[in-house]
Amino acid sequence: MQVRELTVPGALEITPKQFPDDRGVFLEWFSGEAFVEATGHQLALAQANCSVSSAGVLRGVHFADVPPGQGKYVTCARGAVLDVVVDIRVGSPTFGRWDAVLLDDVDRRAIYIPEGLGHAFMALEDQSTVLYLCSAPYAPGREHGIHPLDPAVGIDWPTESRDGRPLTPLLSPKDDAAPTLADAQTAGLLPSLDDVEAFTASLRAR
């Protein structure tokens, strides 16, 4: 596996080695040993999710209260998505910055979004199938969102599918009603960099 840190510190792009033959292809899309080497701690697997999306579906930006937050290790088993991580840690030198990784069924990359960062993706093909390994279970009272089209964040979402069709963002009512980054900060919803760093240190001490 090749691991690259994104411009949002702590977020990682993981590119697996693939072994194709006349039967198909084999790869490790997650390796506990490689994960520990890259992060300094294990991924506590609490939940595994699967979402299937039509082209243009936009999910996020989602995050959870820290502690315990919810770390996510994400890949796309079918189709393609642009997967985005946003630094929402108050006090971070890169607060408000975003970065993106193309997840698809060609390069079969994964992305790790640690606790305290925002996560979103847009599907670029119909039936795009995304798999998530999550460090904590879904807890509605601790889950929050930021509007993915917030101009202050300025995520450069694709306007065409992989086959050249125009894309119109399709949001859930919940995501469409999410606050801007500034409003979420004013409301006290965002995690602080200090709290996130303290929680990450506790993971490494286990």
For residues 82-105, average pLDDT: 98
pLDDT at 31 > cutoff 90: yes
pLDDT at 206 > cutoff 90: no
Average pLDDT of the chain is 97
Q: Which CATH superfamily is domain 2-199 in?
A: Jelly Rolls (2.60.120.10)
Catalytic option among 41, 62, 144, 147: 62
CA distance 183 to 30: 36
The 3-class secondary structure across 46-64, one letter per residue, is: CEEEEEEECCCEEEEEEEE
| pLDDT (0 to 100) of residue 158 | 97
119 is catalytic: no
Q: How confident is the model at residue 119 (pLDDT cuts 50, 70, 90)?
A: very high
Give the start-to-end residue ranges of the domains of the chain. Answer: 2-199
For residues 157-161, average pLDDT: 96
CA distance 47 to 49: 7
For residues 96-113, average pLDDT: 98
Catalytic option among 73, 112, 119, 132: 132
